[in-house]
Structure 1
Amino acid sequence: MAFNSLADFFAMGGYGFYVWLSYGISFLVLAVLIINTLTKRKKILKTVTQRIAREERIKKAKNRKDTL
């Protein structure tokens, strides 16, 4: 093991704050990207579903004979 104790591991030779801050920011950015991607995907799927339903309604309305 490169470190004598767990405290030395977290201290990282005096650079622990910067190392762990970098890890924290990286994981935060990745989490935001994942959440943003999932949110946009859900929104896009909803929009596509609504468009398909709208097109089907229009198609049915055109096929009806009792329309104005």
Structure 2
Amino acid sequence: MIWRNVSDFVAMGGYALYVWGSVGMFLACLAGEWLALGWRRKDIVRELRHARQHPGGEDA
């Protein structure tokens, strides 16, 4: 497909809503995954620090 200007590119041949909606959904999912990984990393680091400070576990 050949676009003559930016407006033609944004319009995506009449499929702009589908194309840009898909791009937006992909970016939203990517951002959500990135945030979830960061939160999980914080949890793991917190658990490891706790385990290092309390070597016998909660029961000991």
The TM-score with structure 1 as length reference comes to: 0.76
Segments of structure 1 that go 5 or more residues without pairing to the other structure are 59-68
Aligned residues: 56
Describe how 1:11-22 pairs up with structure 2 within 5 A.
11-22=11-22
Q: Which has the larger radius of gyration?
A: 1
Structure in which a larger fraction of residues adopt helix: 1
Could you tell me which runs of 5 or more consecutive residues in structure 2 were left unpaired when the two chains were aligned. Answer: none
Alignment of 1:51-66 (within 5 A): 51-55=51-55
Percent identity, aligned pairs only, is 32
**Ranges of 4+ aligned residues in structure 1 off by more than 3 Å:** none
